[in-house]
């Protein structure tokens, strides 16, 4: 693994960090861009791990990737430093002219 995990890939380091969080069993878990630096295949693995690690605890996930936001109970959309929307994913995408819905539509288009 090397000193401080230097021989691990970014995705492997993130999986180790999530495993450490799982073992520590905190009441509150703060995730800052947990899937930002990984490829799509690793993101899927991380998302499965995130589902297990976050189950049953309060989790604040800061994310630009909409796949992370989709899984949240509540999404808070910040635009230019202000909260412009908040609610569950399904509700936020219904308003097709909203910031979140436009971002989501763009993301869907890119993943096709």
Provide the residue ranges of all domains of the chain, joining segments of one domain with +.
1-64, 73-112
CB 28 within 8 A of CB 54: no
pLDDT tens readout for residues 2-43: 566 677 887 778 778 878 888 888 899 898 887 777 777 777
Residue range 1-64 in CATH 3.30.300.130: no
Q: Could you tell me the two tokens for 110?
A: 């890119």
pTM: 0.72
The model's pLDDT over 66-95, given as tens digits with 9 standing for 90+, comes to 877 887 889 999 999 999 999 999 999 998
Q: Find the helix or strand (DSSP H, E) in which 83 lies.
A: strand 82-87
* Distance in angstroms (rounded) separating the CA atoms of residues 97 and 20: 40
């Amino acid at each position: 693994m090397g000193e401080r995990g230097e021989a691990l890939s970014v995705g492997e380091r993130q999986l180790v960090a999530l495993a450490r969080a799982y073992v520590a069993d905190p009441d509150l878990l703060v995730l800052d861009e947990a899937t930002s630096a990984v490829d799509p295949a690793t993101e899927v693995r991380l998302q499965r791990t995130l589902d297990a690690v976050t189950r049953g605890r309060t989790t604040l996930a800061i994310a630009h990737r909409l796949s992370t936001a989709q899984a949240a109970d509540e999404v808070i959309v910040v635009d230019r430093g202000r909260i412009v929307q908040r609610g569950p994913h399904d509700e936020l995408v219904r308003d097709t002219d909203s910031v979140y819905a436009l971002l989501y539509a763009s993301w869907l288009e890119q993943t096709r």
